Amino acid sequence: INAVIDNRAFKKLSGYIEEAKVDADAEIIAGGGYDDSIGYFIEPTIIVTTNPHYKTMCNELFGPVRVNERVIELNASDERGIDTVRNKIHNLAKKSVCSPVGFKLIILDEADFLTIQAQASLRNIIETYSRTTRFILTCNYLERIIDPLQSRCQVLKITPPSKKEVAQHVAN
């Protein structure tokens, strides 16, 4: 359990936890406890969501930071060409943003739909801006991601749950 600064911060963070406990778009997989009986303590908490616009993904929990200045989420099946990489992604990556978090975040959903040229350009951007920008790429078909781009990523393969596991989860 970690202490937070004051009652206002405690109420804010415990409010996020309470909302995640009842929200269908979120699941607390670790932590989630808090106590204000002696000081203000909140357990380190991990909230999982499939919604990239969920409250904890879009709001800075530990400081007044304008998230839109340092985060972009693109669906590569909609914006798949080299112009998107050169303009939107490169512009955010090269932008100087003062943030206590220390980095910018670029999320590319369905990155396997990016053209080969766009992937090659993205590889160069990742090499150039990896100190100041974090990149999250999701895909359905890893083999559609060029090897030079894969080699600059930590690959996490997530297998879908079985029908039995889904039924057990829904039943609980």
pLDDT tens digit string along 109-133? 999 999 999 999 999 999 999 988 9
Q: Could you give the maximum distance between any two Cα atoms of the chain, in Å?
A: 58
The band of 64, judged by pLDDT with boundaries at 50, 70 and 90, is very low
Phi and psi at residue 49, to the nearest 5°: -145, 150
Higher per-residue pLDDT: 60 or 84: 84
**Whether pLDDT at 46 is above 50:** yes
Threshold 0.85, pTM exceeds: no
27 residue type, one letter: E
**Distance between CA 68 and CA 58 in Å, rounded?**
8
Helix (H) or strand (E) holding 123: helix 116-129
Q: Which two tokens stand for residue 59?
A: 């709001």
Q: What is each CA distance from 40 to 9, 12, 23, 35, 117, in whole angstroms? A: 9, 11, 24, 6, 51
The band of 99, judged by pLDDT with boundaries at 50, 70 and 90, is low
The band of 3, judged by pLDDT with boundaries at 50, 70 and 90, is low
89 residue type, one letter: I
Phi-psi category of residue 32: left, alpha or beta, with phi > 0 → left and psi -120 to 50 → alpha? left
54 residue type, one letter: Y
